[in-house]
A and B are shown apart, each in its own frame.
Chain A
Amino acid sequence: MKRFIGFIKKEFYHIFRDKRSLFILFGMPIAQILLFGFAITNEINNVDIAILDHSKDVTTKEIIHKISASNYFSIHQFLEKESDIESVFKKGKVKAVLNFEKDFSKNLIKENHSTIQVITDATDPNTANTISNYVNAILQSYLKEQNKNSTMAYQIRPQTRMVYNPELKSVYMFVPGVMTIILMLVSAMMTSISITREKELGTMEILLVSPLKPFQVIIGKVFPYIFLSIINAIVIIVLSIFIFKMPVQGSLFLLGIESVIFIITSLALGILISTISATQQTAMMISLMGLMLPVILLSGFIFPVSSMPVPLQVISNVIPAKWFIIIVKGIMLKGVGLQFLWKETLILLGMTVFFIGLSIKKYKIRLE
């Protein structure tokens, strides 16, 4: 045990004396969260829009009032005729035009539905998409209010699902993804680099020719990163709660346990990478290309898995991060517990066991 503690102490010396790894460890989570939270956001603010109201009745007035009262839009102009739409877009003054059909109120009461056309400037597809989502959300909430007072429910099918993120804060969507990436990166990349560094320096030779057992070396190398990863997870959650006012609906305890499972999976992956790379550089490349890219692209962090081509959907199943993101989203955003997440948890656990087994098997007690 004393040997083990001595080993871990040494690892911490390495970590705290290497400014670069310290930066990656603690600078990155904060930078990423802030970056995703503030810069790469899907939120919109005071977007200029124009309105073409063919009805000019009570309902349209109310809706327009509601829209202009929100912080998301400011009404730049009221248009008179259809042909104005094109010209106002061409001038680039507005990002969207709301086109209310004739007899809007009448239709809504009589036929239970009426149409509003949301025309957006798709040169910026991301914003365009967001705008239409926001308009939709405002319409939904307007209808909800109306339906409260009426016996007959107006039926308007929602086009987007935003039930779990009613405020449409995109940072909520990013937090689970960012957390996944950072835990993966810290655990897998940092461990694989720190193990290959010993190989490169030649110190691994001495460690091998010592009475330390291989698993002691491995555990000694990864232990500090378990600890640091947990700290990172805490930092991320605290940041998202206090800076982005993100609510955590489910059990923090469960979130912690699931994070530890994911961290261990990543560490096992890191060990695996270190067994196949001879230099720190290779370890880093493999971690970045082999782990980061799939996590970013295939885990559902940025692109929804359901909209991927089928082969990619299949591939995405073998990525531990995908399951972890589902779990984190479930706990943080939906507030569900293990009764809903047992399947994902089980898959993740299975992967953990598999990777640990594989990395122990691959780990060499000798040089090649």
Chain B
Amino acid sequence: MSINLEHISKSYGKVEAVKNISFKVNPGELFGLIGPDGAGKTTLFRILTTLLIADEGKANVTGFDVVKDYKNIRKSVGYMPGKFSLYQDLTVEENLTFFATIFGTTIEENYELIKEIYVQIEPFKKRRAGKLSGGMKQKLALCCALIHKPKVLFLDEPTTGVDPVSRKEFWEMLKRLQQKGITILVSTPYMDEAALCDRIALIQDGEILEIDTPANIVKHFPKTIYNIGSKDMYELLQKLKEFEHTYSMYPFGEFVHYTDKRDNFNPTELRQYLEKNGLQNITIEKTKATIEDTFMELAK
């Protein structure tokens, strides 16, 4: 096991940040912790990177205990905290050199690993890190976390606040790193990114809702979801809310994801109800559940 958590709990004063969490991450796996802010993701990361001690439970990273063998873990993992944590007043090159030096290596020695990412920021290597755009900072931070060739990479919300283009690129980079044999634990509040992981843990309020492959998680969704569209979104939401058979209804892009309380749901009935209430251009179609649907169903 690359990462192994057993019944980990951690409180700050009265607030229980993480409640009895257990999971395993296999070597070479890209494992996602999916959940909103305040779900306990960062606390888990800090416990695993030996920055915090759990109140209860045990955890191993690359076979080392996070409390007793913290020194060995610190040598063999790469960590990218949620906040952009590089020296803004150092240039791209200086940051990278610095992190290489403190890990007792050089840029040249591990250049192969970071090459693909580094070439994208190399044109700006004399620029101070503080002056980089969001996506560039992200890439630099990843390079710095990789420079000592870690066995396990911890990425705490690497794509938060980053635009979709940079996010997509970032995930492509992670996939390539995974192919090089690095185990990756990544957290994100963006549900659409979950599909890019091998396995995911859905987490909310310090508890794990479910752990599985993205495909399985979606498969487990208990109901049939219908995409309902109309010209007036606000009215549609109001009317669906008032509809007596509504089980759940959430806006999803241009549609509303609707599930019915009954098993023998008849779309025509709903259409008639909506038309009667003055809605126009109504479309009702079956659709597949997404991870976000599952998350909301589990978190309810």
**Whether chain A touches chain B in the assembled complex (some CB pair under 8 Å):** yes
Chain A interfacial positions (CB closer than 8 Å to B): 2-3, 5-7, 9-10, 13-14, 17-18, 201-203, 205-212, 365-367
How many residues does chain B have at the interface if contact means C-beta atoms less than 8 Å apart? 32
B46 neighbours in A (Cβ, 8 Å): 205, 367
Could you tell me the distance between the alpha carbons of A6 and B105 in the complex, rounded to whole angstroms?
11
CB-nearest residue of chain B relative to A3?
A: B102
Binary contact track B197-226/A, C-beta < 8 Å → 1, others 0: 000000000000000000000000000000
Residue interface mask B54-88, A partner, CB < 8 A = 1: 00000000000000001100110101011111111
Q: Which of B93-101, B114-122, B266-274 contacts A (4 or more CB under 8 A)?
A: B93-101
Bound Cα distance A208, B102 (Å) = 11
Q: How far is the CA of A322 from the CA of B90 in the complex (A)?
A: 39
Q: Bound complex: CA of A212 vs CA of B49, how far in Å? A: 14
Given contacts A18-B89, A201-B83, contact A207 B102 (CB under 8 A): yes
Number of contacts between A and B (CB, 8 Å)? 82
**Interface residues, chain B, with chain A CB atoms under 8 Å away:** 46, 49-53, 70-71, 74-75, 77, 79, 81-90, 94, 97-99, 101-104, 144-145
The answer for the CA separation of A205 and B77 in the assembled complex, in Å, is 13
Q: Check B101 against A2 for contact (C-beta < 8 Å).
A: yes
Beta-carbon contact of B102 and A209 below 8 Å = no
Closest-CB distance, B80 to chain A (whole angstroms): 8
> What are the residues of chain B within 8 A of A209 when measuring CB–CB?
49-51, 74, 77, 79
Q: Would B81 and A10 count as touching, CB distance under 8 A?
A: no
Contact A210 B103 (CB under 8 A): yes
Instruction: Report the separation of the CA atoms of residues A18 and B94 in the bound assembly, to the nearest whole angstrom.
Output: 16
The smallest C-beta distance from B187 to any residue of chain A, in angstroms, reads 15
Look across to chain B and name the residue whose beta carbon is closest to the beta carbon of A216.
Answer: B102
Cα separation A205 to B85 with both chains bound (whole Å): 8
- Known contacts A205-B85, A366-B52; decide if A13 and B102 are in contact (CB<8 Å): no
Q: Are B83 and A211 in contact (CB under 8 A)?
A: no
The answer to whether B74 touches A210, judged by C-beta atoms less than 8 angstroms apart, is yes
B102 and A210 contact, CB distance less than 8 A: yes
A202 to B80, CA, bound (A): 10
Known: A10-B94, A210-B74. 10 other contacts (CB 8 A): A3-B102, A7-B102, A10-B87, A10-B98, A14-B87, A205-B49, A205-B79, A206-B81, A211-B71, A366-B50
By beta carbon, the residue of chain A nearest B106 is A2
On whether the beta carbons of A6 and B97 are closer than 8 Å, the reply is: yes
Q: Is the CB of A201 within 8 A of B85?
A: yes
Bound-state Cα–Cα, A17 to B52, Å: 33
Q: How far is the CA of A209 from the CA of B94 in the complex (A)?
A: 19
The answer on a CB contact under 8 Å between B89 and A6 is: no
**A247 CB to nearest chain B CB (Å):** 43
Instruction: Specify which of B51, B52, B74, B84 is in contact with A211 (CB 8 Å cutoff).
Output: B74
Given A13-B94, A209-B50, A367-B52, does the pair A6, B101 have CB atoms closer than 8 Å?
Answer: yes
Supply 19 A–B pairs (Cβ within 8 Å), ascending by A: A5-B101, A6-B101, A7-B101, A10-B90, A13-B94, A14-B89, A202-B82, A202-B83, A203-B85, A203-B86, A205-B51, A208-B74, A209-B50, A210-B74, A210-B103, A211-B102, A366-B50, A366-B53, A367-B51
Structural contact, A201 and B94, CB atoms closer than 8 A: no
Contacts of A9 in B (CB 8 A): 98
CB distance from B97 to the nearest CB of A (A): 7
Q: Which residues of A contact B144 (CB under 8 A)?
A: 206
From A2, A203, A210, A211, give the contact of B87 (CB < 8 A): A203
A3 touches B104 (CB 8 A): yes
- B288 CB to closest chain A CB (Å) equals 39
Residues of A within 8 A of B77 (CB): 209
6 smallest CB-CB distances across A and B, nearest first, come from A6-B101, A202-B85, A202-B83, A209-B79, A17-B89, A367-B51
B89: shortest Cβ distance to chain A, in Å? 5
CB distance from B152 to the nearest CB of A (A): 11
Cα–Cα distance between A7 and B52 once the two chains are bound (Å): 24
Q: How far is the CA of A17 from the CA of B74 in the complex (A)?
A: 30
A175 to B85, CA, bound (A): 42
Closest to B51 in A: A367
CA distance A9 to B81 in the complex (A): 24
Taking CB atoms, residues of chain A closer than 8 Å to B98 are: 6-7, 9-10
Task: List, in ascending order, chain B residues with CB within 8 A of A208's CB.
Answer: 50-51, 74
Cα distance, A211 to B79, chains bound together (Å): 12
* A204: nearest chain-B partner, CB-CB: B85
Give CA–CA (A6, B95) in the complex, Å.
Answer: 11
Are A206 and B74 interface neighbours, CB within 8 A? Answer: no
List residues of chain A with CB within 8 A of the CB of B104: 2-3, 211
Closest to B73 in A: A209
Q: Which residue of B lies closest to A203 (CB)?
A: B85
Q: How far is the CB of B146 from chain A (nearest CB, A)?
A: 12
Q: Which residue of A lies closest to B79 (CB)?
A: A209
- Which chain B residue lies CB-closest to A368? B52
Q: Which residues of A contact B70 (CB under 8 A)?
A: 365
Q: Which residues of B contact A10 (CB under 8 A)?
A: 87, 90, 94, 98
Q: A202-B81, A202-B85, A205-B79 are in contact. Are A211 and B103 (CB under 8 A)?
A: yes
> Are the CB atoms of A13 and B89 closer together than 8 Å?
yes
Q: Which of B79, B98, B102 has the most CB of A within 10 A?
A: B102
Q: Which of B84, B86, B98, B144 has the most CB of A within 10 A?
A: B98
- A77 vs B84: C-alpha distance when bound (angstroms): 74
Q: Which residue of B lies closest to A7 (CB)?
A: B102
Please, how many angstroms separate the alpha-carbon atoms of A212 and B75 in the complex?
9
Contacts of A206 in B (CB 8 A): 79, 81, 85, 99, 144-145
CA distance A208 to B66 in the complex (A): 13
B85 and A13: CB pair below 8 A? no
**What is the distance, in angstroms, from A185's C-beta to the closest C-beta of chain B?**
22
Among A203, A209, A212, A367: residue with most chain B CB under 10 A: A209
Nearest chain A CB to B128 CB, angstrom units: 8
What's the minimum C-beta distance from B114 to chain A, rounded to whole angstroms? 16
Give the docked Cα–Cα distance between A10 and B102 (Å): 11
What's the Cα separation between A366 and B104 when bound, in Å?
A: 21
Task: Provide the residues of chain A in CB contact with B89, threshold 8 Å.
Answer: 13-14, 17-18
